Amino acid sequence: MGDPVDRYHRQKLLPEVGMAGQERLAQGRVLIVGCGALGCVQADLLARAGVGHIRIVDRDVVEPTNLQRQTLYGEADVGKVKADAAAERLRAVNSTITIEPIAADFTSDNAEQLAEGCDAILDGTDNFETRFLLNDLSVKLGVPYVYGGVIASRGMAATFVSGDGEHATPCLRCVLPEPPPAGSVPTCDTAGVLGPAVAIVAAQQAADAMKVLLDKLDLLSGTMLDFDLFKNTRRRLNLADIAGDRSNCRCCGQRLFDALDGSSGSDAVALCGRGAVQVSPATHGAVALDDLATRLSAHGPCKRVGPLLKAETSQGEKRFGLTIFPDGRAIISGTEDLAEARSIYARLIGA
């Protein structure tokens, strides 16, 4: 194949990159949390760009429904651990860089350890609980947080830079002080997701991560991209304009890291002898169970039983039952794995 650096020739022609920039990318280290739709595209683009160390954290396995938009996986990967399957593919794409797969649930207990030594944190998640954790981590460590989200045909992306420097921005909690109540907004599992919308968001995230690694913070926009491909709308919102007073922000203003210290977030408890886990949301409030029932009905039987909502769903060959209470609590039967129960809750009900 010749000199492995030759592969970056077209990239090095860019004045923002050049030989020196390519060397910076080779020395760069990124953390990608979640290797689903967004994480796959992020990791693929950054690996091809020559980012030297890519750490991928994801606890899930590949399912057939992932193949529509999760571009690192093929049919032969169904049933494999996502982090490992992604790493196998990325090493085939670029053998000159380090891919570090970690099959783990990303929590307040391990977040700082998993982010150690990284220059940028990329959001490949699907719930606000983890995003608040990533935001806390970013502000505490002073590492830029590259946010992204997709639901149906709508996508959003922004890069948050903590601190008081010239290119600092408000943090995610300045823009969104509290996560939406459980069950109040659709999830990808209930509203669907358009593959091209994923590609746009993840490409923006990868480009911003490269700007960070190149030490070109002046090229970051300081805005949030918001678009809808089916409605043909697109806009950029200035982060400073949509954020509140930064001094009042619990995270970047007061440096209170509620998600990172474990004082906020959902609570999951295994119910002894029942083969079930109770998940209590971080944000309590009345859940519109009839609306939620409509969204969940696409995943299996779902019905109201008095004040409760009972639903069933499956992942691969495993089946789960959900009993959802008006205050957002849910008992998830069919598992005693707390991380698996939280994942099901986030995917179907929302954080």
Mean pLDDT of 298-319: 85
| Cα gap 90→43, rounded to integer Å | 8
C-alpha–C-alpha distance, residues 301 and 273, integer Å = 25
Instruction: Kindly give, in sequence order, each residue whose CB lies less than 8 Å from that of residue 319, ignoring residues fewer than 6 positions away.
Output: 312, 313, 334
CB 253, CB 271: distance < 8 Å: no
**DSSP code at position 66:** G
pLDDT at 131 over 80: yes
Concerning whether 188 is annotated as a catalytic residue, the answer is yes
Residue range 34-41: average pLDDT?
97
Q: How far is CA 153 from CA 41, 180, 196, 233, 299, in A?
A: 17, 20, 8, 11, 20
What band does 283 get if pLDDT is binned at 50, 70 and 90? low
Query: Of the listed 35, 171, 174, 188, which one is catalytic?
Result: 188
* All domains in the chain, ordered by first residue: 4-248 (3.40.50.720), 267-348 (3.30.310)
Phi and psi of 230, rounded to 5°? -75, -30
For the cut 70, the answer to whether the pLDDT of residue 298 exceeds it is: yes
pLDDT in tens, 185-225: 777 877 889 999 999 999 999 999 999 999 999 999 999 99
